[in-house]
Copies of this chain bind each other. A is one copy, B any other.
């Protein structure tokens, strides 16, 4: 299995994903929030690129069935029901609901990755489940990290490296691209001390500065959800292999 990592989604040429499995990674926070929402009973997440598109799309559904969620520049969007904190996506708020979701980097990365043969959403919180999904799909793999303004995010790099390690542990024979190899080496250093990302990651420090520190620890909880969100026909649902709990 050939494995590559795109370190910042702006570098993705969508055509390169044809016939591959893609996993979109945005640890702080979009990936974690989407996984959490589906794990907590949300029916589906509809990623859209703009706040305007989110409001427009909401009109397709009965009021009360749909919630608007997301952020711009890390801040909640005026008039939206939910921000981009995984802590907000509780069973009480999201069970049986549809979430229309837009974030600065995460939903752009999802749109870019939709050209793949199969596209999932991965974070540290569902790492082992995603590894199982990649093995079951069996295709060559591209991990699409959201990154930040044209540069890599340390937490996404570490997540990508740990996912590659999990695949090796499951017996995958990986041919690593240079970027994939670099991610594995970075992950080795953080494997047993993910908490260091709270201070080492520039975006983590920025979120703490803005009072969003409580969001971060839940994003670093390793393999706490069995859910693999998959993107098909523009909507994100649980992988067919998984049953709602």
Contacts and interface: CB of A to CB of B under 8 A. Distances in A.
A5 B67 CA distance: 40
A178 B157 contact: yes
A157 to B, nearest CB: 6
Contact of A186 (B153, B182, B202): B182
Interface stretch (A8-16, A95-103, A131-139, A215-223): A8-16
Nearest to A154: B178
Q: How many copies of the chain does the oligomer comprise?
A: 2
Contact of A11 (B8, B154, B179, B186): B8
A151 interface: yes
A177 interface: yes
A181 interface: yes
A189 B202 CA distance: 23
Contacts of A201: 178
If over half of A's interface residues share one DSSP class (helix, strand or loop), that class is named, otherwise mixed; here it is: helix
B178 A202 contact: yes
A4 interface: yes
- Residue in A4, A13, A189 with the greatest tally of chain B CB atoms within 10 Å: A189
Nearest to A204: B178
A177 B201 CA distance: 8
A6 to B, nearest CB: 7
Contacts of A157: 178, 182
Contacts of A181: 154, 200
Nearest to A150: B11
Contacts of A185: 185-186, 188-189
A164 interface: no
Given A11-B10, A11-B11, A185-B185, A4 B151 contact: yes
Interface string A190-215: 00000000001111000000000000
A7 interface: yes
Contact of A152 (B7, B13, B154): B7
Contact of A6 (B151, B154, B178): B151
A179 B151 contact: yes
- Residue in A6, A11, A182, A202 with the greatest tally of chain B CB atoms within 10 Å: A182
14 contacts: A7-B7, A7-B151, A8-B11, A11-B11, A151-B177, A151-B178, A154-B181, A154-B182, A157-B178, A177-B202, A178-B200, A178-B201, A182-B182, A185-B186
